[in-house]
Amino acid sequence: MTDDPGARFSEFLSRLTEALGPKGVSTDTQEIEPHLNDWRGRWKGSTPVLVKPASTEEVSKAMALCAEYGLAVNPQGGNSGMVNGSIPQGEVLISLKRMNHVREVDVLNDAMTLEAGVILTRAQEVADENGRLFPLSLGAQGVATIGGLIATNAGGAGVLRYGMMRDLVLGIEAVLPDGRVWNGLRGLRKDNTGYDLKQLFIGAEGTLGIVTAATLKLFPKPAVKETAWIIVESPAKAVELLQLAKAASGGAVTGFEIVPRFGLDLVLKHVPDVRDPLPSSADWRILMELSLPRVEGARDMIETLLGEAIVRGIAADAAVCGTEAQKAMVWKIRESVPIAERVHGKALKHDVSVPVSRVAEFMQRGAALARSMAPGVDIIAFGHVGDGNIHFNVTAPPGVDQDAFLNRDGLKVTEAIHDLIVSLNGSISAEHGIGRLKRDELAWRKPQVEMEMMRAVKKALDPDGRMNPGRIL
């Protein structure tokens, strides 16, 4: 091997191309370009090469070569991540998108094994075609991949009933930084044979290795989903409604999302083909979904519980969706809030969680804090209130340069919001992860012993620090 860095890299490229074939390697800047930007246009990256393996064996060969040449690696799925983790900063970029095969569906075991590049909507379809439900659902499901969803431990809209990605994974196949393949694709509900290593890779954001396939849990398909759009006066009323709905439905609430009036207005303004399902001047809306095993009695159940909520002053008004088109419309409104917010302008994004019992206090104190520190800001606080996870997004004040706000004064707002979150026993990253965005903050907010344990795990699996450097740790 030569000492000249340029010649070394050329040698690496030719060995890589020999190992993966021309389809597996690209240095074409036009092809690479879309992989270098995040969906909101906030970050920009660079890479000398895009690697596109089509199998675990090819990932292994690419990783072994990167190890031999001492090159850092950045895995990428759908590039829909929110924390600046999936955009390369000069590393070798490995896209898992060609690894998109369904390896097995074991219906009797309620499990399916998919490769990392399978897109979430395809995973949902595969489950459906086999008479089962794969319950993860989120706004980016048309692009986000199984590998990325595992790497970020994604959440979304069904968590209050089915859990996060961590709860949905039975087994994992991963390629380690030195190229070794770990086949942990066990479809077992019970397996107490030592450390549960798959959990290390879930939520590791690609810092420990590359997830190449996973065995995922399947669930019975509900016979019916009843969906309602509900007007409430405050987040406190929303939490009361959640308790009422859980009790009245025997725990059948599978979606409980909050949308502020301002967020709805942005969607109505910027997103085509939506209309307000229940016009009202009140400040908050809830999208509630119940999943039930029998059609009989389902409509009665939701109508009765909403009637009780209105009589008791918990809800101001409500509309039960009568058709599949109406259900699709209310979900479209909810999932379009980030898209409408993007058109409205750049925003400080706070993906935070608190115990559900403290959501109302957080919303009230957080809004007062942001408005006192940056008068005139718009607050778009929405999301998974049923999990205590609010996307508390704050735009730049009018007349202020958006980038300057995000990178200077806005940082103080973020610190204050996160201080508030910590004081309420919450988390500064509920579901999007840490990436490069929150890395420094994590280091000073986490207890030292916790940081030391995380660094020890990283050192054990990635001693040279080549996997997604600068993310999380």
Residue 317 dihedral angles phi and psi, to the nearest 5°: -165, 165
Buried b (16+ CB within 10 A) or exposed e, 131-163: ebbbbbbbbbbebbbbbbbbbbbbbbbbbbbbe
Name the residue with the smallest CB distance to ligand 2HG.
338
- To Zn ion, the closest distance from the beta carbon of 103 in angstroms equals 29
- 60 vs 153, beta carbon nearer ligand 2HG: 153
Q: Which does 349 bind (CB under 5 to 8 A by kind): Zn ion, ligand 2HG, ligand FAD, none?
A: ligand 2HG
> Rounded to the nearest whole angstrom, what is the least distance from the CB of residue 393 to ligand 2HG in the complex?
5
- The dihedral region occupied by 385, where left means phi > 0, alpha psi between -120 and 50, and beta the remainder, is alpha
Binding site for ligand FAD (CB under 6 A): 39, 74-82, 85-86, 96, 116, 138-140, 143-145, 147-149, 151-152, 154-156, 205-206, 210-211, 338, 431-432, 435, 468, 471
Looking at residue 427, the DSSP 8-state letter turns out to be B
Of 255 and 315, the one with the shorter C-beta distance to ligand FAD is 255
Contact call for residues 116 and 96 (beta carbons, < 8 A) = yes
Q: In the bound complex, which residue of the shown chain has the CB atom lying closest to ligand FAD?
A: 148
Tell me whether residue 328 or residue 404 sits nearer to ligand FAD (CB atom): 328
Based on the shown chain and the rule CB under 6 A, indicate whether residue 383 belongs to the binding site for ligand 2HG.
yes
Please report how close the Cβ of residue 309 comes to ligand FAD at its closest, in angstroms.
25
- CB of residue 112 to Zn ion, shortest distance in Å: 24
Which CB, 86 or 240, lies closer to ligand FAD? 86
Give the shortest CB-144-to-Zn ion separation in angstroms.
12
Taking CB under 6 A as the criterion, the residue among 349, 418, 436, 471 binding ligand 2HG is 349
Q: Which of residues 321-340 bind ligand 2HG (CB under 6 A)?
A: 338
From the list ligand FAD, Zn ion, ligand 2HG, none, partner contacted by residue 393 (C-beta under 5 to 8 A by kind): ligand 2HG
Residue 291: name its binding partner from ligand FAD, Zn ion, ligand 2HG, none (Cβ under 5 to 8 Å by kind). none
Q: Which helix H or strand E contains 214, and what residues bound it?
A: strand 210-217
Rank residues 76 and 395 by Cβ distance to ligand FAD and give the closer one: 76
| Phi, psi for 471 (deg, rounded to 5) | -100, 140
* Gap between the Cα atoms of 347 and 379, Å rounded: 9
Q: In whole angstroms, what is the distance from residue 145 CA to residue 204 CA?
A: 15
Please report, for residues 62, 119, 292, 463, the alpha-carbon distance to residue 178 in angstroms, rounded to integers and kept in the order given: 10, 27, 47, 10
Chosen residue from 393, 395, 414, 429 binding ligand 2HG by CB under 6 A: 393
The site that binds ligand 2HG (CB under 6 A) totals a number of residues, namely 6
Task: Name which of 187 and 469 has its Cβ closer to ligand FAD.
Answer: 469
Which among 395, 304, 309 is positioned nearest to 349, based on CA atoms? Answer: 395
Q: Residue 342: what are its φ and ψ, rounded to 5°? A: -60, -40
Least separation in angstroms between CB 51 and Zn ion: 30
| DSSP state string for 304-319 | HHHHHHHHTTS-SEEE
Pair of tokens at residue 314: 């918990």
Residue with smaller CB distance to Zn ion, 155 or 184: 155
Q: Does residue 263 belong to the site contacting ligand 2HG (CB under 6 A)?
A: no
Count the Cβ atoms, other than its own, within 10 Å of residue 39. 15
147 forms part of the interface with ligand 2HG (CB under 6 A): no
Q: Decide: is 141 part of the binding site for ligand 2HG (CB under 6 A).
A: no
Residue 235 binds: one of ligand 2HG, ligand FAD, Zn ion, none (C-beta under 5 to 8 A by kind): none
Q: How many CB atoms lie within 10 A of CB 377?
A: 22
Buried b / exposed e over 238-264, threshold 16 CB at 10 Å, is bbbbbebbbebbeebbbbbbbbbebbb
How many other CB atoms are found less than 10 A from the CB of residue 380?
Answer: 23
Residues that bind Zn ion (CB under 5 A): 383
Q: How many CA atoms lie within 13 A of 101 on its CB side?
A: 8
The entry of ligand FAD, Zn ion, ligand 2HG, none that residue 81 binds, CB within 5 to 8 Å by partner kind: ligand FAD
Contact residues toward ligand 2HG (CB under 6 A) are 139, 338, 349, 383, 391, 393
